[in-house]
């Protein structure tokens, strides 16, 4: 129990460095938020290292996204599920340090140049990139249930409902949870 909590679950120094370094690098690619880098987190944590299964990865993100607070909390949940409290601290520090420092620097720089045509064009160009990253994230998160027609129909239904109504996303999360409880999404 103590090993799981503090994070001595079989990771050696190279694994800790890989975990921290990967999240450090992804932090600088997180255009549109940390969730847009979930596919690459999945590649490392599930595909390469086998630290979590597809279902554990998706459940970690779902749990964190359903909880109140900043969306980046899923990074800490992933880290915790990989290596306990130490894993949570390593992944969260790796994610927050570079992006925070870069954001502070760029915000100050951009504030002085906010009317620049080049800066406006650059920020407008980030929208399609963010959308693509979010679609890739959605694809990875549906992997555990892709064989289920009910689950796959729930995805376009949810997206359509979000686009045409002002319904709170929490109701759609609750509907997805109920569909899973009653076996309609699994």
Looking at the predicted structure, is the pLDDT value of residue 56 above 80?
Answer: yes
Q: Could you tell me what percent of the chain has a pLDDT over 70?
A: 93
Residues 95 and 167 in one domain: no
Q: Which domain holds residue 171?
A: 147-186
The Cα–Cα gap between 141 and 57 comes to 8
Confidence (pLDDT) at 184: 63
155 lies in some domain:
yes
Q: Global pTM? A: 0.61
83: exposed, middle or buried (Cβ count in 10 Å: 0-12, 13-18, 19+) = buried
Looking at the predicted structure, is the pLDDT value of residue 16 above 70?
Answer: yes
Q: How many CB atoms lie within 10 A of CB 90?
A: 24
Residues 56 and 120 in one domain: yes
Q: Give the SS3 label for residue 77.
A: helix
């Amino acid at each position: 129990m103590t090993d799981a909590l503090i994070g001595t679950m079989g990771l050696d120094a190279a694994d800790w460095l890989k975990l921290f370094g990967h999240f450090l690098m992804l932090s600088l690619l997180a255009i549109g938020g940390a969730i847009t880098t979930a596919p690459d987190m999945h590649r490392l944590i599930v595909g390469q290292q086998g630290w979590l299964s597809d279902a554990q990865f998706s459940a970690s993100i779902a749990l964190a996204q359903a909880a109140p607070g900043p969306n980046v909390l899923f990074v800490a949940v992933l880290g915790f599920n990989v290596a306990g409290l130490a894993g949570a601290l390593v992944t969260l520090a790796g994610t927050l340090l570079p992006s925070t420092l870069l954001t502070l620097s760029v915000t100050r720089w951009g504030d002085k140049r906010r009317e620049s045509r080049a800066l406006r064009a650059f920020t407008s160009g980030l929208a399609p990139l963010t959308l693509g990253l979010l679609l890739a994230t959605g694809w990875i998160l549906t992997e555990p249930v892709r064989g289920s027609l009910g689950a796959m129909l729930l995805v376009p239904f949810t997206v359509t409902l979000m686009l045409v109504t002002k319904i709170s996303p929490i109701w759609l999360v609750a509907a997805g949870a109920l569909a899973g409880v009653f076996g309609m999404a699994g």
